[in-house]
Amino acid sequence: MPLLRAATLAALGAMMLAGPGKPEGSPQVLPAQTIKSVPTSKKLIAFTFDDGPNRRYTPKVLALLAQHHAHATFFVIGQEVVRCPDVIQSIKNAGMEIGNHGLHHRWLRKMTPGAVKEDVTGGADAIVAAGGPKPYLYRLPAALSDDVSRSVLGTLRYTIVSWSVDTRDWRRGISTDRIVKTVLHDAAPGRIVIMHDGPAHREATLAALAQVLPALEGQGYRIVSVGELLRNSEFAAQRAIPPSAARPIAKPKPRPHSRGWLQSIWLRRIG
């Protein structure tokens, strides 16, 4: 009798943990996973660009990437997508990856579940309406989140992409030399670099990008999108990556021989 009672209590406890109204055997929804870098033995490094699209700067970033046969992930803001949907087409046609940076670049921490979902899905809807693919990667504005926002993002099947090389190129007055030194000092296989292609004052970013791309190439690195980085690793976030047939990544062209070396802006701007 004691054994039966214990088993019954255990079963009831399991039912309570499963939550009310959940069908038996239904998959558990986990909070969105956050990645800053991935373990890999290959000399791959992912470049990401936030806060676009921007008609002035995004095409120049794309041109530099194309010049060095590099790929990247562009985390775009929905309201900017609405302003210049043609730039989304340019990003897509260049074979780059498009991620979600929210509809209004709102900090998700301390927001209600409904507000989080509205901003995240609004950003995704803007991308799709402009002819882009449905995004599966999300970048948190200012890197701010909490249990609620991560849970909502998990329900929406996103992987949160943070960074491990912070150029801080959003700072007004930052020098090209400082950005270059940061990237080259912190670069390592599997790391993720954050830069910005919008909304303004990106001349230093462009000048730095023109230097770091050939420098990393000379060190044997290949510049890739976040999705490509994940597909070339054993990282657990691969569970959130659609099949390559659903999310094609342009094949790199043959590489030449190495040549050697709004809450948008408040008290601070992180991402």
Tell me, what CATH number does 133's domain have?
3.20.20.370
Whether 246 is covered by a domain: the verdict is: no
Lowest-confidence region among 5-19, 23-37, 158-172? 5-19
Whether 74 is covered by a domain: the verdict is: yes
- What is the extent of the structural domain holding 69? 30-240
Contact 204, 174 (CB under 8 A): yes
Name the one residue in this structure whose structure tokens are 């989140």.
145
Catalytic residue among 68, 101, 105, 196: 196
Q: What is the pLDDT of residue 7?
A: 41
For residue 25, pLDDT over 60 is answered with no
Active site residue 50: yes
Whether 260 is covered by a domain: the verdict is: no
The mean per-residue pLDDT over the stretch 208-235 comes to: 94
Whether 16 is covered by a domain: the verdict is: no
Catalytic residue among 50, 119, 166, 169: 50
Whether 263 is covered by a domain: the verdict is: no
Whether 174 is covered by a domain: the verdict is: yes
Six token digits for residue 116: 């989080």
The mean per-residue pLDDT over the stretch 108-114 comes to: 95
203-218 vs 58-67: helix axis angle to the nearest 10? 10
Q: pLDDT tier at 232 (50, 70, 90 boundaries)?
A: confident
Rounded Cα–Cα distance for residues 155 and 91 (Å) = 27
Whether 17 is covered by a domain: the verdict is: no
CB 5: neighbour CB atoms within 10 A?
A: 9
Q: Which element (helix H / strand E) includes 75?
A: strand 73-76
| Number of domains forming the structure of the chain | 1
By C-alpha distance, which of 210, 163, 168 is closest to 187? Answer: 163
For residue 136, pLDDT over 60 is answered with yes
Whether 76 is covered by a domain: the verdict is: yes
Six token digits for residue 94: 């260049």
pTM over 0.95: no
Judged by DSSP in three states, 215 sits in: helix
Q: What is the pLDDT of residue 240?
A: 64
Q: What is the pLDDT of residue 100?
A: 98
Average pLDDT score over the chain: 84
Contact 98, 127 (CB under 8 A): yes
